[in-house]
Structures are given as structure tokens and as C-alpha cells.
Structure 1
Amino acid sequence: MSAGSLLRALVRRPVLALALAIIAGVFACALLAPLLAPYAPDDQIFDGLSLDGAPLPPSAQFLLGTDTLGRDLLSRLIYGARTSLLIGLVANGTAVMIGLAVGVIAGYFSGLLGGVLMRFTDLMTAFPALLLAIVLAALLKPSLWIVAMVIAMVNWVQVARIGYTETRSLSERDFILAERAMGAGNLRILARHILPHLVPTAIVWGTLGIATTVLLEATLSFLGIGVQPPQPSWGNIVFESQSYFQSAPWLVFFPGLAILATALSFNLIGDALRDLIDPTQRGRD
């Protein structure tokens, strides 16, 4: 199925069309943040606080209100989309590449090498991903790229197991055996026959994994070991404002809504792509 056919199939469903619109909006905010944001994300606006120093609620001047330092919340959310989406794409893209590399090598060559790689994958699976990410983030100096690499290091295992299973199945097909009988080398078989069959898997897991990555980044930032202020991310915006939840709920509600909408949209699109690309997997979890 071509990219155009996939897009048309997604747009025909109202819920998926809304999810695509949300994702497009997040990408627009990330790419055009300087043009869309009313203020710079770190500008402490003189009239952004009330007389008693409290943040201002949503108004005509500040559409989503201001935070505890008098900064425009809408501007910080727009710039935060850039941070959260960049980490989501980089971390998940890296995780998919690592997972596929491990799975393909283990599945194709099997033997001692495959056994060692898959036992290591099983070992990584045994650790709770969030706990492992917290430990790694705490040991390393938190920054945008460190957080992305930490998330990639804990998210590759599921892709590796799927890549291993599919590669093992493909390696036993008749056309692969015929290629070997004709003298084709391992690199030729991997490049021309194994990897192209794994592209749909990479697309589906690349989409589904972004939702998990965005949530994990938000969790790490909320715990204070993710992206560090003053660089805005949706997670650290919630972290900075958690003590004002009762007096200024918009400071937590709007970034929380952005995280929820983005993660849900990527999940919906990923599930739909899985059904469209491989209908035999429909309904399987």
C-alpha cells in the first residue's frame, strides 16, 4: 500500500483524521515556534503576575495564563512541543534502529551469537523500563540529548524481539533458501530480502513508540531528572507548577492535556497503520 493510499485510508476515519490534525499541529508548533509563540519562552513579562505575585489565569492577553515567574504559558507550551517531539523522534528512531539491528542479527545468524543477543535482550526486558531510565538519567548529567539516549536505551527491546521473530521466519522461506543455493552472500540476502520485509514493522513501531517516548520524557522531566529548566518541555512545566495545582490549575491542566493528546494521537495512528499494513495482526496485542 502506497503512502497516499495509507493517508487516504486514515483521513476517512474521523477519529484518525483528528489524530492526524493534532500531530500536524504539534509538528507545526515544533517547527514554527518562533513565529507562533507570542513571547519568548523565558521572558518574565512585567504584567504577567497579579499584584500579590500570583500567576494570571487565561485572558485575552495571555490565552493560557502565565506561570509562577510571569512567563506566558502558551509560549512555553509551543516551545515545549519542540523539545518533547525532538526527543520523541530521536529517541524512538534510535531505539527502532538498535532493536532491528539486534533482532535481525540474532534471527539471521542464530547460533551462539543469536543466543547471546537474545539472552541480553531478555535481561533488559526483566528490568522495569521506567526504573532503569530513572537510574541512567540520575547517573548522567541530564540534557536533551542525554535524555533521548537514555530513553532509546530502554525502549529497543520490544522491537528486537519482534525483529528476531520475523527474521527467523523469513530466513526459513523458500526464496531465501533459493538465494543461498545460488550463492548469494549474507549481506545481499539481508539488504534485498530481509530488511525490506521489516520496513512495515519499523514504520508501525516507529509511530507507536513515539507515544511511549513522549510519556517517558514527560515522566523523567516531571521527576526533575529529564530536560532541565529553563529549556521548556511539557514534563518540566508540570514539575515546576505542581505545587500550584489548586490555586492555578491551568498550569498543570494545559501541559497535561498536550501530553495526553499527543500520546493518544500517535497511539491511534500507530494502531491504524498496523491494521492497514498487516491486516493479519488486527486485534492481536
Structure 2
Amino acid sequence: MTDATAAERPIRAKGALRRLAERPLALFGLFLILLVVGGAVLAPLVAPFDPSEQHFDGLTIEGAPLPPGGAFLLGTDLLGRDLFSRILWGARTSLIIGVAANGLALVIGTLVGLTAGYFRGWIGAVLMRFTDLMMAFPALLLAICLAAIFQPSLWIVAMVIAFVNWVQTARVIFTETSALSEREFIAAERTLGAGTARILFRHILPHLLPTIIVWGTLGISTTVLLEATLSYLGVGVQPPTPSWGNIIFENQTYFQSAPWLVFIPGAAILLLALAFNLVGDALRDVLDPTQRGRD
């Protein structure tokens, strides 16, 4: 890699940031992400109550949840717990699982796709057939089965989601690596005696970084939705640990009489997934070489 190429990196990064800042939807998505991350990080300071604390004044005389307002900003749930505090702490769960599971899936998918795309032959065939086999299983059904087999916990759920979510990344990385392996500069490196590790990690992987960044951003929304689905079905993060999915699960019986208990965590899931999709789409346009020069 030449010094000129290294010197161009800051310039390209500035250009990418400038093009990203020119997209209002991307900025809106970034604002939502920062808002949720800030709320999750500052939950111990911002949350007015302990998320598991049951308040004697948190239920009506009839034993129904309190509506939003007063001491309880978003109302209370069926056990008299403050919904606002549980939403803030639930954001922590969703973000930890979203980032951890997607990061692990990204690493697995990148390694599988990179190896299969570069070596090809029987190694690539075995890895890609295994990838196809994993893609043949419905991801949600496989995740439910795995989560039911193991004792559900935050990190177990993250690993289960990562295990079913790496296949799309592997497919994309395999395709791009196969094309890059045939390029002249890779053939020149082989001729000069460069080792496999140097070619993979010094010459091919840097060209895949834009794709990895985009898929990493878009994948977080998928993992957040999958975690919420598993928690709603009762095989995800278990109570009393708050999660947006299990908040909906616990309060679904009050859907008609206290709809805010379902709509508020549902809206949080929707907005966070939308935010990562908006930022991911913008990054794809900004980092895609075919889009450069069209702005």
C-alpha cells in the first residue's frame, strides 16, 4: 500500500462525512441513535426509579396501571413499576445485544466469506454450502429453538442471534472477495511473494471495510428486532431484567385498557430500528464507489 494511498484516507474520510452530513434523514437517524444511547448510558442517573421497584401508589384502587402523567412520566405497568425507568433500562439491554450480537455475526460472516472467496476450491465450496444450509433455516425459528435449548440470558441471547445472523454478511463478503482476488494488484502481490495473511489483511480486507461498515450498521436494527421478538415470545432476556420485548410481553393483557404499555416500547423498537436503517442506507450511498461523483 503506497504512501499516497495512505495520505488520501483523511481526505476521503472528510468527504464521506461531508456527504453524510448533507443527508437530513441520516442526521435524523443519527440523532435518534445518540438519544437512545445517551438514555441507556445515563439510565442510572436519569431513571427516576429502580426498574424493578413495585410502587404501592403505582396502581389504581381497582389494581389497574396508572396512565402517563404525574410522578410516573409514562405511567406504570401491571405490577406498579415505572414504565419510563423500565424503557431506559430496556434500551441498555437492546443496545448491548444489538451491538454484541451484530459485532459477533459480522466477525464470523467476514471470516467465512473472506476465506471462502480467497481460497475457493473445496474450502470455499464447503464453507458456502454450510452458509447455504444455514440460510435455508428460518432465522426466527432457529433462534427460538436455540434459545429454548440453552438457559436464556443476555449473553446467551446475543450469541444465539449472532449464530443465525452471520450468513448474509458471509455471502456478500464472499462475492466481493472473489472479485478482488482476480484483480491485477493481487496477482502482482502473489508474484512478489506476499504471503496469504498479508494479501488478505493488508490488501483485500481494507477494500471490504465500506461493505463491513454498512452491513454492521444495518445489521444492528435486525438484531434489535430479533431480540425484541425473542423476548416477546418468552425465550429471550428473562424478567426481571427489562427488555423492550418482554415489557410488551408482560403488559399485552392490558392492550385495550392501557394501550401505552404496548405502544411506547413498540414505538421505541420501531424508532431505533428505523434510525439504524436510515444511517446504514446513507453510509451505503456515501461509501459505495459507484455513487461518488453523483452528488
* 2:44 equivalent among 34, 41, 46: 34
Residue 89 of structure 1: SS of its match in structure 2? helix
Q: How does 1:262-281 map to 2 (within 5 A)?
A: 262-280=272-290
Cα separation, 1, equivalents of 2:214 and 2:55: 43
Report the counterpart of residue 104 of structure 2 in structure 1. Answer: 94
Given the superposition, is the C-alpha separation of residues 219 and 121 from structure 1 closer, same or farther in structure 2, using an over 3 Å criterion?
same
Instruction: Give the C-alpha shift of residue 13 in structure 1.
Output: 2.7
What is the alpha-carbon root mean square deviation over aligned residues? Answer: 1.3
Report the counterpart of residue 260 of structure 1 in structure 2. Answer: 270
Given the superposition, is the C-alpha separation of residues 175 and 279 from structure 1 closer, same or farther in structure 2, using an over 3 Å criterion?
closer
Q: Does 1:83 align with 2:83?
A: no
Residue 47 of structure 1: SS of its match in structure 2? helix
Instruction: Give the C-alpha shift of residue 4 in structure 1.
Output: 4.8
Count, aligned residues: 282
Cα separation, 2, equivalents of 1:218 and 1:230: 15
Given the superposition, is the C-alpha separation of residues 116 and 131 from structure 1 closer, same or farther in structure 2, using an over 3 Å criterion?
same
Q: How does 1:193-204 map to 2 (within 5 A)?
A: 193-204=203-214
For structure 2, list consecutive stretches of 5 or more residues without a partner in the other structure.
Answer: 1-10
TM-score, with structure 2 as normaliser: 0.93
Cα separation, 2, equivalents of 1:89 and 1:15: 22
Report the counterpart of residue 14 of structure 1 in structure 2. Answer: 24
Q: Does 1:45 align with 2:45?
A: no
Bigger mean CA offset, 126-135 vs 10-19? 10-19
Report the counterpart of residue 122 of structure 1 in structure 2. Answer: 132
Cα separation, 2, equivalents of 1:2 and 1:72: 47
Contact 2:23–2:282 at 8 Å: present in 1 too? Answer: no
Residue 79 of structure 2: SS of its match in structure 1? coil
For structure 1, list consecutive stretches of 5 or more residues without a partner in the other structure.
Answer: none
Cα separation, 2, equivalents of 1:279 and 1:191: 20
Report the counterpart of residue 73 of structure 1 in structure 2. Answer: 83
Q: Does 1:136 align with 2:146?
A: yes
Cα separation, 2, equivalents of 1:41 and 1:29: 14
TM-score, with structure 1 as normaliser: 0.96
Residue 58 of structure 2: SS of its match in structure 1? coil
Report the counterpart of residue 191 of structure 1 in structure 2. Answer: 201
Report the counterpart of residue 182 of structure 2 in structure 1. Answer: 172
Cα separation, 1, equivalents of 2:275 and 2:251: 25
Cα separation, 2, equivalents of 1:262 and 1:140: 28
Report the counterpart of residue 7 of structure 2 in structure 1. Answer: none
